[in-house]
Amino acid sequence: MAAGSADKFSVLLPTYNERENLPLVVWLLARTFQQSGNNFEIIIIDDGSPDGTQEVAKQLEKIYGSDKIVMRKTISVLFSLGTAYIHGMKHATGNFIVIMDADLSHHPKFIPEFIRKQKEGDFDIVSGTRYKGNGGVYGWDLKRKLISRGANFITQVLLRPGASDLTGSFRLYRKEVLQKLMEKCVSKGYVFQMEMIVRARQLGYTVGEVPISFVDRVYGESKLGGNEIVSFLKGLLTLFATT
Amino acid sequence: MTKLGQWLCGLALLGSVWAALALAPPGLRLPGPYRQALLPLPVYLLVAFGCYSLATVGYRLATFNDCEEAAAELQEHIRAAREDLGRRGLRF
């Protein structure tokens, strides 16, 4: 039986001011999928970027074909990751959805490993983890790593989620699973990604893990502030009390 | 049941067992030394958990992988991508 010849993978790329990185991500995605022989499409959901991201996306559509690159504008009001995914999924024609960051912190080369892992265990979700195996991070200093490990530890103790990396956003979902989860998840930001996994487990979905490397080129500009930590903790406690 | 609910139930259960044995209402008396040992148990457990937490986070911090090769490889890929896209007519 041909391995997954009927499978199609829709990659959702929410973007804001990614004029520089978008072509590179798309190039890497196209190359990865062409090499692995999987059918794919890339859905770009842009939040009204003022830097010309949409213009670049249109150029990419010309280069790769509009069956491969789908450009979706969102209404700028209330843009969040959740609404971007919902919006993107409406037009997704694949039976699997890949979500990832568009700023090159996630490398598309891991997607074939996600696909392989999914087949191996017939998983509903495959989550990229920075914390297990040879997963890891580049560009974080000791303080950032400490915050990351500390937050993850608290999360593991409180939620016992059965997955090592809850705040990661490099994942493969079955389309129906993602749709079901989007209906149920209400949080924002980091907590949104956590809630997806927690709810998935509640609903009996299976989660597999693949070690990934996260290359942070942005950290120098966007430090993890006290505000983010506070809202993370608030979100965590909310999940603790409600799930 | 929510995680909070599970914690509360667990704590209530352990708490009542501890209270019954250590605080010793009449009718359920253990020999003195046992009661003396049980009394500070919650504090000991808390301290033990604190130590476990510190050790675990410390260990995980120390073994947090640094992906040097991944960063270098990415640079390579970026170069190749820009070149190829330029050839295909992308105006950066």
Nearest CA-CA partner of A7 in A91, A68, A97? A97
Question: Among A135-144, A172-181, B20-29, whose mean pLDDT is lowest?
Answer: B20-29
Q: Does B75 touch chain A (CB under 8 A)?
A: no
Other CB atoms within 10 A of residue A150 CB: 15
Nearest CA-CA partner of A185 in A235, A151, A231, A230? A235
What pLDDT score was predicted for residue A1? Answer: 43
Strands (E), A47-144: 69-73, 96-99, 125-129, 136-138
Sign of CA dihedral A8, A12, A172, A65: positive
Q: Which residues of B touch A240 (CB under 8 A)?
A: 2-4
| Inter-chain touch B78–A134, beta carbons under 8 Å | no
**A69 in a domain, yes or no?**
yes
**A142 in a domain, yes or no?**
yes
Q: Which residues of B touch A242 (CB under 8 A)?
A: 2
- pLDDT tens for A142-184 read 999 999 999 999 999 999 999 999 999 999 999 999 999 998 8
Nearest CA-CA partner of A193 in A110, A130, A120? A130
Give residue A99's domain range.
8-242
Q: Under a CB-based contact definition with an 8 Å cutoff, are residues A90 and A6 in contact?
A: no
What pLDDT score was predicted for residue A92? Answer: 92
**A1 in a domain, yes or no?**
no
Number of domains chain A contains = 1
> CA-to-CA distance for A50 and B79, rounded, in angstroms?
25
**A104 in a domain, yes or no?**
yes
Percent of chain A with pLDDT over 90: 67
**A219 in a domain, yes or no?**
yes
pTM: 0.89
- pLDDT tens for A36-89 read 999 999 999 888 888 989 899 999 999 999 888 887 766 555 567 778 888 888
Strands (E), chain A: 8-15, 39-46, 69-73, 96-99, 125-129, 136-138, 171-174, 207-211, 213-215
> CA-to-CA distance for B19 and B10, rounded, in angstroms?
14
| Inter-chain touch B66–A136, beta carbons under 8 Å | yes
Q: Which residues of B touch A135 (CB under 8 A)?
A: 65
**A3 in a domain, yes or no?**
no
- pLDDT tens for A16-46 read 889 999 999 999 999 999 999 999 999 998 8
**A2 in a domain, yes or no?**
no
> CA-to-CA distance for B29 and B25, rounded, in angstroms?
7
ipTM higher than the 0.95 cut:
no
Helix (H, G, I), strand (E, B) or coil at B60: helix
Q: Where residue A188 sits, what CATH number does that domain have?
A: 3.90.550.10
What pLDDT score was predicted for residue A2? Answer: 47
Residue A36, exposed/middle/buried by CB under 10 A (0-12, 13-18, 19+)?
middle
| Inter-chain touch B3–A153, beta carbons under 8 Å | no
Q: Under a CB-based contact definition with an 8 Å cutoff, are residues A30 and B80 in contact?
A: no
**A228 in a domain, yes or no?**
yes
> CA-to-CA distance for A225 and B5, rounded, in angstroms?
31
Nearest CA-CA partner of A75 in A89, A85, A87? A87
